[in-house]
Amino acid sequence: MAQDKNNNNEREQYFKERAGTDEARFHVVPHDEEGWAVKAEGNDEPDYTTDSKSKAVKEAKRMAEEAGTMAIIHNEEGRIEEQHNYEE
């Protein structure tokens, strides 16, 4: 149990450090209101929402390529499905 708590704390710190920086990655995640959302790491509010996962993936890839970072695609359960690396 203590190990899980430490892992969660480390993960939260990792995302906090990336939030709002050029290194923030873009995640495609399920969204309650619109269906799918693109969120930058560390942000609670989505940068983009749509009812189509393919549109969300396309937008996340565009945003990640423009920022020189990564697009991380999650499935309906929130697990990582694929990653697209645009880092230089």
Residue 14: predicted pLDDT: 44
Q: Where are the beta strands (DSSP E) in 1-88?
A: 26-31, 35-40, 48-50, 70-74, 80-85
The residues, any chain, with a CB within 8 Å of residue 24's CB and separated by 6 or more, are: 18, 40, 41, 42, 43, 67, 69
> Residue 15: is its pLDDT beyond 50?
no
Task: Note the pTM of the prediction, 2 decimals.
Answer: 0.76
Domain residue ranges in the chain: 2-85
- 33-74 pLDDT, tens per residue? 889 999 998 888 999 999 999 999 999 999 999 999 999 999
User: Given pLDDT bands bounded at 50, 70 and 90, which one contains residue 23?
Assistant: low
